[in-house]
Amino acid sequence: MNTLDLSPLYRTLVGFDRISSLIDEGLRLDSAPGYPPFNIEQTGEDAFRIELAVAGFTEADLTIEFRANTLLISGRRAPNGEETRQFLHRGIAERGFERRFGLADHVRVHSARLENGLLSVDLVRELPDALKPRRIAINAEGQPPKSAAKARAPNPTAIAAE
């Protein structure tokens, strides 16, 4: 098995302990890398959709779980007497599956629907206000911030009263 040495990368990431575990998880081999096939689509600035081709599965056969920034989608078909059927060619895979998707912080599952053999899971990123980017004013050296300068400005009515 071929492994990658990512220790130089870890040395440059200060305070990002979770990143190393995400990289390690991403490098693990998937047991069934091509099944079921899926698409990941960005549908808006902070909206995403994962679509899985799950032909032959019903809503009752599918499970969607979200925990610890991982979305787990699995499918298990209950046997329904198909052992008696004799296939000349069986090209539709109806075996059980499990797919894991690592999600970034503040991404949550918005909705899921099954339509025409496609399972669509809509995701949305909702950043708290404290984490949203904000503009920081740059003050000249020795100058108070603009809001403080306004507070120190003399009151024109007080000057007229003198």
Q: List, for residues 46-68, the tens digit of each pLDDT value.
A: 899 999 999 889 999 999 999 88
Domain assignment present for residue 14? The answer is no
Residue-range definition of the domain harbouring residue 76: 33-161
Domain assignment present for residue 92? The answer is yes
Number of domains in the chain: 1
Half-sphere exposure of residue 70: CA atoms within 13 angstroms, side-chain side: 13
CATH number of the domain to which 152 belongs: 2.60.40.790
Domain assignment present for residue 116? The answer is yes
The string of pLDDT tens digits covering residues 113-152 is: 999 999 999 999 888 878 778 888 888 776 666 655 454 5
Q: What is the pTM of this model?
A: 0.61
pLDDT number for residue 50: 95
pLDDT at 38 over 60: yes
Domain assignment present for residue 73? The answer is yes
Domain assignment present for residue 2? The answer is no
The string of pLDDT tens digits covering residues 67-119 is: 888 899 999 987 766 667 788 988 877 789 999 998 888 899 999 999 999 99
Distance of alpha carbon 92 from the chain centroid = 29
Domain assignment present for residue 113? The answer is yes
Phi, psi for residue 140 in degrees, rounded to 5: -65, 150
CB atoms < 10 A from the CB of 136, how many? 6
pLDDT number for residue 162: 46
Torsion of CA 50, 54, 59, 65, to 10 degrees: -40
CB atoms < 10 A from the CB of 124, how many? 15
Domain assignment present for residue 99? The answer is yes
Please give the single-letter amino acid code of residue 105: D
Domain assignment present for residue 80? The answer is yes
Region for 86 from its dihedrals, namely left if φ exceeds 0, alpha if ψ lies in -120 to 50, beta otherwise? beta
Phi, psi for residue 151 in degrees, rounded to 5: -70, -30
What pLDDT band is residue 31 in, cutting at 50, 70 and 90? very low
Cis amide bond preceding 8, omega within 30: no
